[in-house]
């Protein structure tokens, strides 16, 4: 096969292995339920960094091509500024000032964020994405390797899509397809962007021969048509309105751009690309048409729900506009914002459902502006290349249109908040960025080793941080305990505390250990209702009724209606009903009343809970309160 007038060279084994390894890494994260779990995300961030280190340490061509690639200074400066901006909420010295919740811990340093641990874990993920981008760009410094990497990613997506479709149709057979990304909308974003990139690959294949290649049965062209078909069907099976609209806009933009670009691009090839998508939507999508139509019928209702989700978070952003509440702060902010009026909409959301509002809420104007500047600076050379001719121009146009899919769907969803989807986007951006990058000639000159040394140091540091933060989290997941590590994140501390307070007859030494862990957790995230509930449980186990009641009050104050805490917090309160303060009792009754009105299906469960309470005062108190609620609202 010829590309741009040159015969494609045969790749060395290490080059093919690099392409396959990077592809396997990102799809491993996708298969691990999008790496949405904090422990899994930390592990994959470390693997991305380790991948960069191995690439540069083992492959001389990688070190050479890193030196040949120019244009690292500006993105490096922007990345450093972005890191400084997202780390700033760890301190109280931002223009937003320390959050009031830190007044509960007067002896410790305050911060603008509600959750220091979440900030550090998200910064680790960001560093991992930087490493993945650099690795992708270095691999794609050779156009042959770049095309191979993009091909591996596309066929990896095809295998994943086929497996997801078979699983959905064969095992579930109904509802919306979410694949392993825990949400149909997130899956739709990935598949829709994949449609655009697969169309770009097909257009690149048909660039010289046009539709004649299909008529002659060119295996690669036919396979790419099948890939486009498969991905279109997968988008339809998600029944995602935003994904369908964003995908349609991205595909239409690419088709029109292709029709207008390049003297060598035959219009028949464009017609094949555009016509294939339209035909497949009409024919292959009939099986999911009813579900899609039903989803569009509910559009206005769901739009109202999204407005109710976004509105309080927009107000929260306005309360801390400059540097936000810290990356990963959504969960704590959302729990704090919940009132009975917004409980139905906010109690089980994983994100704001608007990418840009969430960026502003977590990173503030400064952090969001730097994110946009870094993304724009990395996209700028790709956009310039998209106006050129040849195969590189086609890939660049596909990348720009695929980016448009992500950014358009971000208006109503949060796919780019999913760690594995971020990794896919970072690797794809790096691959296309490497394809379009200018190369500095180094013939006869000794390659500059400084860029490789810096990248090795950065990747190595990121891998070490991933071990320090990720190992305690991973140990907690499998039943181990590394909470004694000074770097253990709050979730690892929480797991150890919960296992400890579940035991009976705790020794003084064990109580002291749990007390220390609880203090460390609160010093990390005083805005967490669950952290304060664990503090209350530790104090109760030590026989400290006053501090325990105060900690319970603070749990309700920072997360008044947190539904995931309802059962544990209500049981704890009624088991100690005669030792609670009036404020703690009132807070308990307030959440009980809200849950009674929100979830009819919980009422029998609440009656069972009342019968299981061992404290006589608590059992009578809960039974009486349920009777009052039943009389008020049968």
pLDDT in the model for residue 70: 77
- Phi/psi for 5 (5° steps) reads 80, 5
Higher pLDDT, 305 or 215: 305
- Report the b/e string of 376-399 with b at 16+ CB within 10 A: eebbebbeebbeeebbbbbbbbbb
**Confidence class of residue 591 from pLDDT cuts 50, 70 and 90?**
very high
Q: Would you state the pLDDT for residue 4?
A: 45
* Per-residue pLDDT at 265 exceeds 80: no
* Interatomic CA distance for residues 201 and 395, integer angstroms: 7
Q: Is the pLDDT of residue 280 over 80?
A: no
pLDDT tier, 284 (very low <50, low <70, confident <90, very high otherwise): very low
pLDDT level of residue 299 (50, 70, 90 thresholds):
low
- Please state the rounded mean pLDDT for residues 470-475: 96
pLDDT tier for residue 281 given thresholds of 50, 70 and 90 = low
pLDDT in the model for residue 171: 74
Say if residue 477's pLDDT is above 80. yes
- Bridge pairing between strands 6-7 and 2-3: antiparallel
Whole-number Å distance between alpha carbons of 565 and 558: 12
Q: Using CA atoms in the order 249, 214, 399, 52, what is the torsion angle rounded to 10 degrees?
A: 140
Taking residues 38-43, what's their average pLDDT? 96
* Amino acid 51: pLDDT: 97
Of the given ranges (149-163, 284-298, 404-418), which has the lowest mean pLDDT? Answer: 284-298
Domain ranges of the chain: 14-461, 489-632
Contacts for 607 with CB less than 8 Å, ≥ 6 apart: 626
Residue 520: predicted pLDDT: 97
552 pLDDT higher than 70: yes
Distances (CA, A) of 233 to 74, 242, 282, 387: 41, 15, 10, 30
Q: What is the pLDDT of residue 444?
A: 54
411-420: b (≥16 Cβ within 10 Å) or e: ebbbbbbbbb
Residue 249 has pLDDT above 90, yes or no: yes
pLDDT at 212 (0 to 100): 62
Q: What is the pLDDT of residues 103-151, one digit of tens each?
A: 999 888 999 999 999 999 999 999 999 999 999 999 999 999 999 999 9
- DSSP for 410-421 reads TTT--GGGSHHH
Q: Report the CATH number of the 489-632 domain.
A: 1.25.40
Specify the range with the lowest mean pLDDT, choosing from 403-417, 437-451, 462-476: 437-451
The pLDDT, as a whole number, for residue 390 is 85
pLDDT in tens, 559-585: 999 999 999 999 999 999 999 999 999
> What tens digit of pLDDT does each residue of 483-503 get?
999 999 999 999 999 999 999
Rounded to an integer, the average pLDDT of 249-256 is: 93
pLDDT at site 502: 92
């Amino acid at each position: 096969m010829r590309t741009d007038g040159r015969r494609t060279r045969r790749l060395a084994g290490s080059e093919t292995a690099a392409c396959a390894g990077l592809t396997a890494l990102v799809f491993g994260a996708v298969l691990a339920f999008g790496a949405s779990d904090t422990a899994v995300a930390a592990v994959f961030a470390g693997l991305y960094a380790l991948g960069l280190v191995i690439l540069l340490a083992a492959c001389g061509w990688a070190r050479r091509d890193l030196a040949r690639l120019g244009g690292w200074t500006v993105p490096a400066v922007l990345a450093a500024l972005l890191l400084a901006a997202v780390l700033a909420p760890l301190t109280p010295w931002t223009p937003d000032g320390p959050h009031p919740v830190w007044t509960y811990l007067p002896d410790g340093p305050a911060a603008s964020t509600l959750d220091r641990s979440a900030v550090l874990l998200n910064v680790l993920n960001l560093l991992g994405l930087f490493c993945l981008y650099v690795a992708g760009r270095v691999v794609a410094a050779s156009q042959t390797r770049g095309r191979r990497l993009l091909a591996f990613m596309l066929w990896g997506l095809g295998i994943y899509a086929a497996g997801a479709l078979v699983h959905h149709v064969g095992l579930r057979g109904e509802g919306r397809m979410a694949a392993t990304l825990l949400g149909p909308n997130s899956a739709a974003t990935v598949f829709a962007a994949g449609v655009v990139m697969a169309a770009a690959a097909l257009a690149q294949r048909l660039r010289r021969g046009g539709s004649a290649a299909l008529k002659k049965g060119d295996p690669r062209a036919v396979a790419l048509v099948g890939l486009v078909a498969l991905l279109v069907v997968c988008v339809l099976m998600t029944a995602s309105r935003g994904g369908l609209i964003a995908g349609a806009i991205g595909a239409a933009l690419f088709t029109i751009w292709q029709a207008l670009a390049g003297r060598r691009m035959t219009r028949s090839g464009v017609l094949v690309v555009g016509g294939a998508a339209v035909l497949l939507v009409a024919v292959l999508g009939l099986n999911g048409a009813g579900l899609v139509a039903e989803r569009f019928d509910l559009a206005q209702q769901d739009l109202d729900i999204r407005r109710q989700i976004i509105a309080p978070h927009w107000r929260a952003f306005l309360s801390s506009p400059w540097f936000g509440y810290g990356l990963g702060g959504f969960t704590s902010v959302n729990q704090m914002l919940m009132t009975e009026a917004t409980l139905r909409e906010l109690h089980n959301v994983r994100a704001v459902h608007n990418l840009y509002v969430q960026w502003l809420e977590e990173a503030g104007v400064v952090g969001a502006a730097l994110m946009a500047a870094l993304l724009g600076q990395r996209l700028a050379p790709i956009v310039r290349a998209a106006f050129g001719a040849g195969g590189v121009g086609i890939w660049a146009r596909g990348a720009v249109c695929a980016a448009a899919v992500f950014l358009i769907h971000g208006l109503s969803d949060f796919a780019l908040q999913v760690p594995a989807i971020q990794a896919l986007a970072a690797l794809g951006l790096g691959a296309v960025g490497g394809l379009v990058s200018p190369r500095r000639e180094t013939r006869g000159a000794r390659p500059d080793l400084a860029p490789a040394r810096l990248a090795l140091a950065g990747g190595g540091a990121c891998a070490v941080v991933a071990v320090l933060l990720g190992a305690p989290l991973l140990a907690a997941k499998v039943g181990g305990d590394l909470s004694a590590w000074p770097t253990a994140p709050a979730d690892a501390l929480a797991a150890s505390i919960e296992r400890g307070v579940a035991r009976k007859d705790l020794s003084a030494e064990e109580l002291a250990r749990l007390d220390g862990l609880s203090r460390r957790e609160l010093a990390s995230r005083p805005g967490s209702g669950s952290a304060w509930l664990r503090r209350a449980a530790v104090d109760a186990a030590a026989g400290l009724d006053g501090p325990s009641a105060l900690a319970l009050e603070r749990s309700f104050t920072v997360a008044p209606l947190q539904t995931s805490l309802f059962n544990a917090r209500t049981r704890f309160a009624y088991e100690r009903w005669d030792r609670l303060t009036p404020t703690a009792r009132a807070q308990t009754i307030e959440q009980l009343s809200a849950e009674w009105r929100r979830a009819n299906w919980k009422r029998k469960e609440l009656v069972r809970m009342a019968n299981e309470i061992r404290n006589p005062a608590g059992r009578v108190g809960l039974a009486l309160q349920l009777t009052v609620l039943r009389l008020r609202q049968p």
